[in-house]
Each structure stands twice: as C-alpha cells, then as structure tokens.
Amino acid sequence: MSDHQNDLQDVAQRLELKLPHLLFTDKVRALHETIEKEWDSLQQSACQTAAGRALWKHMINDPVAGLLAGETYLRNFHEKIQKDYLNNAREVSGVILAVRTLWFDSKVKAALDSSNGGAQVVLLGAGMDARAYRLNCLKESDVFEVDFPELLQVKTTLLQAAMESTGEHQNLMMTANSLTRVAADIRNNDWFEKLQISGFSPVKNTVWVLEGILYYLSHTHAMQVLNIIADQCALTHTVLLADFMNKPSTTLSNSIFHFYSDWPDHLLPSLGFSHVDLSQIGDPDAHFGLMHDPLNLFNKLRNLPRSQQTYPDDGKPCCRLYLVQASGSPSQTIP
C-alpha cells in the first residue's frame, strides 16, 4: 500500500468512532451519568482529557481511556476531530494533548531509567490518567494518584468493572509495582500529609507528574504546591514534570485557567530546583512525528521570541504551553 493510501486508511479509521462495549452496561452507564450531572467542570476536565487520549489511539496506547472518558465526551471530541479533518485543518483537535501525553510518558520513563531502582511516582491531579495500567517502566515504582475523592471513587469502580469484565478489557492489569489513591484537594494544606500517611516516603527518589493541573489553580495555590515539591529536593532526588501555560493562554475569554508562568525556567530555579529543561510543542523532544506542516501553529510560535505576547501579523495572543522538566538533589541544594 502506498503512503497516501495508508494515510487515507488512517484518517478513515479516525473518523470512525468505536465505543467500548462496557460503556453500555447499567453500572458503567450510571457512573457516567453521575459524572455528567454531579461533577463540576474542573473534575469533568479529566474525562475530556481521557477522551482525547482514546481518540488518538493510533499514537497513545491507553486501553481504558474510552471507558474512563464516557460516551458523551468521546462523541463530542470525535465530532471536533471529524470537523477538523473535513475542513483540512492544519491542527487536528487533540494534537496538543497527544504530544503532551507522549512527552510525559517519555520523561517518566527516562527519569525512572536514570534513578537507581524504583523511584516513587506521584500523579498530582491524576484524573483519568491510566499510566499505572499502561506504562511498563513503572514496574518497580510505587505510584500515588492524588485527586478529589469523588473522582477517585468513580475511577476505581470503572477500572474494577473493566477488570471483572470478560470482553475487551479482560486482560487489563496494573503495570506499576503498587498503586495508592489519595483523596485530597491540593488547595488545602493537608494534601502532603495525606500523601505521607498513604505511604509516600519523603526520602525516596520521586518523580512528580503535574500534567494538566497547575493552571487550574490560583497563583497562591500553584505556588504552594510547587514550593512543597521543591522542598523535597533538599531530602532526595526529585524530578518534577509539569506543563505551564503562559499569560496569554490563561487570559482568553471564558478561560477557566488562573496560574501562568511566562518563564517557568526562571521560576523553578528560584524555588530550589537545580536543573530545568523547557520544551514547546514541536520541539525535537515534543514532536512525535505529529508536526508535519511547517506552517502549523506550533512551528509558527516556536519561531517567535518567547517574550512576544502577540503575533506580529494579526495581533492575536501567542498562547503557549511549556513542557518542563526540573530536578534537584540534596547534594545540589544550597544550604
């Protein structure tokens, strides 16, 4: 088959929506009804993200993303993708999410590979993240998922339903050494204590995964969270993986975002991290073969200085998402 035929077949597959059978059982249907009726937009953002991963399945291997997302979010996201393909859009909906997920996956793996033995991994604002079931690099790691209690409860029940089912999810298994769900609101001061009570050890090497979470917090709360993590650098080897929005991204109309940093690579060293690497979507480590068109939005952004807040041609805001890896160790901490 030619490349072109392959591409067409790929597109046709992406335009076809396959819903997991389990979504149509009474129990799972009822859980998703609860999500739609009772959860706020902050919590529901977890299902939107999972829907994106489910629909970018040609890039992301997440066997439970569709189940965790639910029919409504899958249909809505699928409709957007369909429109983009039909309109020949340069950027197809969900591409940022796909790159972001793949970037975090690759950085978690690299951080664990370079640590001596199984570092613990904390997923802060874990939402419907299923890394503990899909990343083999976690096999020696104790994983902690922190999120609101009602979200973690529904997630646990959905995954139990998957493991007990006889259909497409029957071989679902945890790939992490252990998984502990910690119900907490990270705006409250007690979340770190709750994490410790649940088995997190402050002296064990740790990888912190803050994917799609910081900008939902106020400036004060985000800084509190970052400071708590930075303080860990004085105790043990600590790696922080996080995405940051720049100011224009959070000030769009109807935005539900708050915290931003235009220069996370300056902010994090001031908190105590000794190494910081920053990437933008489309950079060599945040590309994953998905940025074919040199004129796409991300390449256009990367070619403008980061201090530029609006595009010179049309004055529209330069909305950036920074993918940031920071680390620190006791030996590197200045007393």
Ligand X SMILES: C[S@@+](CC[C@H](N)C(=O)[O-])C[C@H]1O[C@@H](n2cnc3c(N)ncnc32)[C@H](O)[C@@H]1O
- Chain residues binding ligand X by CB under 6 A are 42-43, 45-46, 49, 125-129, 147-148, 151, 185-187, 211-213, 216
Q: Are strands 206-210 and 238-245 parallel, antiparallel or unpaired?
A: parallel
Residue whose CB is less far from ligand X, 212 or 282: 212
DSSP letter for each residue of 259-304: ---S-HHHHHHHHT-SEEEEEETTSTTS-TT----TTSHHHHHHTS
Residue whose CB is less far from ligand X, 118 or 212: 212
Closest approach of ligand X to the CB of residue 245, in Å: 12
Encoded tokens for 285: 């480590």
Closest approach of ligand X to the CB of residue 104, in Å: 8
Q: Which residue is nearest to ligand X (CB)?
A: 127
Encoded tokens for 221: 């709360």
Residue whose CB is less far from ligand X, 185 or 292: 185
Q: Is 195 within 8 Å of 232 (Cβ atoms)?
A: no
Residue whose CB is less far from ligand X, 60 or 301: 60
Burial call 178-207: b when 16+ CB within 10 Å, e when fewer: ebbbbbbebeeeebbebbeeeebeeebbbb
Name residue 249's amino acid: S
Cα–Cα distance, 230 to 232 (Å, whole number): 5
Residue whose CB is less far from ligand X, 217 or 326: 217
Closest approach of ligand X to the CB of residue 130, in Å: 9
